[in-house]
């Protein structure tokens, strides 16, 4: 099975100088767990919702919130993103996707073209969903 059959598209992207306030807002408005960081239409990094949670104060939005807590929202995407993300091309097959997840401690794989422009993204959830559907389909085939 080709990765283009189960990757998520379109993806949500941010620019390197977007504030963490903007990043936080995008995570809250979408069901995505990863935002891809682009510069000049090319992929340069990935921000996960966990990356954001690591730098945000738990006091934001509470009565204990301070100016220092709010100041972290002025940081920029490039300050917390993972650089040089591991990517795959659109012709990658499911076994290669699984292999990449098994070899690296990552939770998403951006799918890019030859010019490093983003085409989609695959998370381990996408892989599990695809495998689950394939298993269910195989289990319902008549046995003769």
Domain spans, the chain: 3-139
pLDDT of residue 135: 83
pLDDT of residue 70: 87
Position 34 pLDDT exceeds 60: yes
Stated as kind and residue range, the H or E segment containing 91 is none
- Written as six digits, the tokens of 55 are 């730098």
What does the pLDDT average to over 109-137?
94
pLDDT of residue 40: 95
pLDDT mean across residues, the chain = 93
Position 57 pLDDT exceeds 80: yes
Q: How far apart are CA 135 and CA 53, in angstroms?
A: 35
pLDDT of residue 68: 86
CATH code reported for the domain at 3-139: 3.10.580.10
Position 142 pLDDT exceeds 70: no
pLDDT of residue 144: 54
Per-residue pLDDT band for 94 (boundaries 50, 70, 90) equals very high
What does the pLDDT average to over 12-39?
96
pLDDT of residue 123: 95
Please give the share of the chain, as a percent, with pLDDT higher than 70.
97
């Amino acid at each position: 099975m080709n990765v283009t059959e189960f990757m998520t598209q379109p993806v949500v992207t941010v620019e390197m100088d977007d504030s963490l306030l903007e990043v936080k807002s995008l995570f809250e408005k979408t069901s995505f767990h990863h935002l891809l960081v682009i510069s000049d239409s090319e992929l340069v990094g990935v921000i996960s919702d966990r990356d954001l949670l690591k730098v945000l104060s738990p006091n934001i939005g509470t009565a204990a919130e301070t100016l220092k807590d709010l100041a972290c929202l002025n940081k920029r995407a490039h300050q917390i993103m993972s650089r040089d993300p591991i990517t795959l091309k659109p012709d990658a097959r499911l076994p290669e996707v699984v292999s990449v997840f098994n070899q690296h401690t990552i939770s998403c794989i951006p799918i890019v073209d030859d010019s490093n422009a983003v085409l989609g993204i695959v998370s381990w959830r996408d892989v599990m969903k695809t495998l689950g559907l394939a298993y269910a389909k195989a289990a319902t085939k008549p046995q003769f």
